[in-house]
Chains A and B, each alone.
Chain A
């Protein structure tokens, strides 16, 4: 596993100022000056997607289904490169105060909404408070108290406690800037009619057609604030619940981009196809982990030795190499390997069936006459067999070898599985959980004892360790990235030692594109970022 970058370059005052100045200057340089060929204007990009968005307003709706179109329609204060560095977008420069309690954004003056009205600090203030009030990720903007607007192009986000995650929260996928003159009419934003019809943002593309569960057509916004961009004339998101028909569409050339592909059979098929390219880059931001969750409130899984024995009986390398065709990488901790806060110093459990048996013996679970120690059930998320069901079946086979009889429980569909997890009615369950960039958004929720809730993707493992609570709560407010990382390092060590979760692999998301597509998005947010630089050769 690769070491993470030595430090997070985004948060200290000096680097922030420096980078902001440098980036503001570099923004004036012609784009892709060093690229081998000149980007071409025009053309249509058809993106195949199995995800059905509820609507297009990413300020009140999280998740990848909405984020993909929302990041095209709405611009955000900042965007990020492929190394977690913030880049100017609607904000030309920005500064996180030394105490970490305010973020000042200097907006560019030439940004327009699709209806021709200018983007001002009032829109930014309105949007951030709207996100705080409506967005499902409550920890993201939670500490924000108000947004000051000393002039039309300056917005100062004021927070009650130091909150370094606020910089990442300015990402396109997390902070769409809404036009206040449209959404500020007093209607409930979660159910606002303009989330679906006549959606207006300031991003590179404007919506011309939205047919729920069918397709989204977006056309180039001619007055987009970045000169000459976007290169594409049109982006069409073609929604089909069936991945196989999208794969067929890509082969036929009907579809040009297929993000979030994981199936080893598809990936293998395309890896050698001269007509397409394949990249695993672009998924660090969402940081998707595939794992086995233990219900630590239930016997015998409440015994950490039992959990460790189970981990010792599982060969993650086999899962990543054989079950997932070598496209996945093994994961050993709660943070995705490329996260700036991930550390290599984790407790690991190499496969050793004999040792696993001995650990179970020592924990007091001797094998009975039929070789069985005890019974467990394992659930899995339906609809992603390559990541979930197949692994569950493999674990069943492995645990049988050490005397644990496992019953794999199928769920008919997502709500049925979510119900089981939410009501804590499970022994073990496979699950896919996203880091969502900053640990405060996607990582804390799984381990805080205050977040043991009857809701899916909370701490349904019932894991409670006051030390972990304290580490996370402190780390969330530390401005200095080195110091913050040190806290997360201890947290990662404890969690991998106490094992409320057996981390298995990073979800092998790939973006498959037709060879004609250039500048495939590989930033940390990948397909969930503006496609203004993509072009068709």
Chain B
């Protein structure tokens, strides 16, 4: 079977998956008590019944749920995610405005977790029962077990209040005019430290555990013994022979875990007031802003599906042993 045909069938599967995600999200979101018009009435400090009925008609909320779903699917098929009920802005432009912030946070967290996590894992695999290894194990267990929001709050208290070296929240200084110049980039980087650290700690712990066990696995195999037997330096054995092979499972997890990192970003963005997609999704749920919630979830599901498909496809090139079943 050709790669092209394989890719096409995977694409079809992906489309079905995204459709299922949209329908499921639609049903779940509408199952939550209360509706967007009540939220708007709440934000207004009260509202007349006529106005509420008018808004419901305008948003199509007076129609039956299946009809609303049909209308929504029809629009999504044409690439129209609709307007936010709350802000009366196109959902696509709201998402587009917030993608860079989330991407910046997620990528820096993933990269930090990957590099530092792997490095810690490799270090601790050299002497699996040494003091350093024990320390890293404890550290990664704590990182793995602690809730993200708790970690975030603790880091804020430590590094923004007790030792006020880092900003409390936000992506830029309050009086920043943005602009993207060098000073602006420094400002954003300064604000990025705490959220990245918080989001990456959980994954850092995971990757270090994974890298450690994978390294131990590989270090026990025959070709390592052969390498050592032919007199190669310890460093070469470790980093050139063992690490390369040990990395495979870490890379796999990295690709597959992208969705989890996005989910973690919701919490971190909320704690740090980071203006990304996660915060938008969370606050839209509180506002029952259906089009925005569905838009963000649809976008995220597409990102996750694409990442997974890419991982799968890459595998076929990296490891020729993996063939279609």
Contact with A along B110-132 (1 / 0, CB 8 A): 00000000000000000000000
Contact with B along A291-321 (1 / 0, CB 8 A): 0000000000000000000000000000000
Cα separation A195 to B86 with both chains bound (whole Å): 13
- Say whether A414 contacts B39, CB under 8 Å: yes
> Nearest chain A CB to B315's CB is how many angstroms away?
40
Given contacts A236-B174, A416-B34, contact A136 B41 (CB under 8 A): yes
Given contacts A54-B40, A63-B44, A419-B34, contact A248 B89 (CB under 8 A): no
- Say whether A254 contacts B33, CB under 8 Å: no
> Nearest chain B CB to A521's CB is how many angstroms away?
19
Which residue of B49, B170, B275 contacts A455 across the interface (Cβ within 8 Å)? B49
Cα separation A418 to B32 with both chains bound (whole Å): 12
The tally of residues in A whose CB lies under 8 Å from a CB in B reads: 54
Cα separation A46 to B175 with both chains bound (whole Å): 8
Cα separation A517 to B106 with both chains bound (whole Å): 39
Q: Which of A239-247, A262-270, A339-347 contacts B (4 or more CB under 8 A)?
A: A239-247
> Nearest chain B CB to A380's CB is how many angstroms away?
14
- Say whether B280 contacts A137, CB under 8 Å: no
**B272 to chain A: closest residue by CB:** A245
Cα separation A313 to B16 with both chains bound (whole Å): 60
Is B253 on the interface with A (CB-CB < 8 A)?
no
Instruction: List the B side residues contacting A494 at CB < 8 Å.
Output: none
- Say whether A455 contacts B47, CB under 8 Å: yes
Instruction: List the A side residues contacting B184 at CB < 8 Å.
Output: none
- Say whether A136 contacts B283, CB under 8 Å: no
A372-429 with Cβ < 8 A to chain B: 412-420, 422
Cα separation A526 to B80 with both chains bound (whole Å): 42
Instruction: List the B side residues contacting A417 at CB < 8 Å.
Output: 34
Cα separation A52 to B46 with both chains bound (whole Å): 16
Is A474 on the interface with B (CB-CB < 8 A)?
no
Instruction: List the B side residues contacting A213 at CB < 8 Å.
Output: 87, 275, 279-280, 283
- Say whether B286 contacts A436, CB under 8 Å: no
Is A360 on the interface with B (CB-CB < 8 A)?
no
> Nearest chain A CB to B156's CB is how many angstroms away?
7
- Say whether B48 contacts A413, CB under 8 Å: no
Is B17 on the interface with A (CB-CB < 8 A)?
no
- Say whether B168 contacts A434, CB under 8 Å: no
Instruction: List the A side residues contacting B288 at CB < 8 Å.
Output: 415
Instruction: List the B side residues contacting A422 at CB < 8 Å.
Output: 38
Contact with A along B200-243 (1 / 0, CB 8 A): 00000000000000000000000000000000000000000000
Cα separation A454 to B56 with both chains bound (whole Å): 14
- Say whether B164 contacts A252, CB under 8 Å: yes
Instruction: List the B side residues contacting A455 at CB < 8 Å.
Output: 41, 46-47, 49, 52
Which residue of A136, A211, A241, A242 contacts B51 across the interface (Cβ within 8 Å)? A136
Instruction: List the B side residues contacting A415 at CB < 8 Å.
Output: 32-36, 38-39, 42, 286-288
- Say whether A248 contacts B43, CB under 8 Å: no
Is A228 on the interface with B (CB-CB < 8 A)?
no
Given contacts A212-B89, A241-B273, contact A136 B34 (CB under 8 A): no
- Interface-centre pick from B94, B273, B280 (highest chain A CB count, 10 A): B273
Is B160 on the interface with A (CB-CB < 8 A)?
yes
Instruction: List the A side residues contacting B170 at CB < 8 Å.
Output: 238, 240
A51-79 with Cβ < 8 A to chain B: 52, 54-55, 61-65
Is A191 on the interface with B (CB-CB < 8 A)?
yes
> Nearest chain A CB to B52's CB is how many angstroms away?
6
Is B45 on the interface with A (CB-CB < 8 A)?
yes
Which residue of B32, B33, B44, B283 contacts A62 across the interface (Cβ within 8 Å)? B44
- Say whether A241 contacts B270, CB under 8 Å: yes
- Say whether A255 contacts B156, CB under 8 Å: no
**B157 to chain A: closest residue by CB:** A248
Is A44 on the interface with B (CB-CB < 8 A)?
yes
**B39 to chain A: closest residue by CB:** A415
Cα separation A63 to B52 with both chains bound (whole Å): 16
Is A138 on the interface with B (CB-CB < 8 A)?
yes
Cα separation A63 to B160 with both chains bound (whole Å): 33
- Say whether B86 contacts A54, CB under 8 Å: yes
Is B9 on the interface with A (CB-CB < 8 A)?
no
> Nearest chain A CB to B318's CB is how many angstroms away?
41
- Say whether A418 contacts B38, CB under 8 Å: yes
Is B325 on the interface with A (CB-CB < 8 A)?
no
- Say whether B88 contacts A62, CB under 8 Å: no
Is B161 on the interface with A (CB-CB < 8 A)?
yes
> Nearest chain B CB to A77's CB is how many angstroms away?
21
Which residue of A44, A55, A456 contacts B87 across the interface (Cβ within 8 Å)? A55
**B101 to chain A: closest residue by CB:** A214
Is B169 on the interface with A (CB-CB < 8 A)?
yes
- Say whether B275 contacts A136, CB under 8 Å: no
Is A457 on the interface with B (CB-CB < 8 A)?
yes
Instruction: List the A side residues contacting B43 at CB < 8 Å.
Output: 52, 54, 61, 63, 65
- Say whether B283 contacts A52, CB under 8 Å: yes
> Nearest chain A CB to B54's CB is how many angstroms away?
9
Given contacts A55-B87, A62-B45, A136-B47, contact A44 B175 (CB under 8 A): yes
- Say whether A212 contacts B87, CB under 8 Å: yes
Cα separation A55 to B288 with both chains bound (whole Å): 17
Is A83 on the interface with B (CB-CB < 8 A)?
no
Given contacts A54-B86, A415-B32, contact A61 B44 (CB under 8 A): yes
Given contacts A136-B51, A419-B33, contact A55 B88 (CB under 8 A): yes
Contact with A along B167-195 (1 / 0, CB 8 A): 11110011100000000000000000000
Cα separation A409 to B273 with both chains bound (whole Å): 29
**A53 to chain B: closest residue by CB:** B43
- Say whether A457 contacts B46, CB under 8 Å: yes
7 A-B contacts (beta carbon < 8 Å):
A46-B174, A136-B46, A212-B87, A418-B39, A419-B34, A455-B46, A455-B52
Listed in ascending order, the chain B residues whose CB lies under 8 Å from chain A are: 32-36, 38-52, 86-89, 94, 97, 156, 160-161, 164, 167-170, 173-175, 270-271, 273, 275, 279-280, 283, 285-288
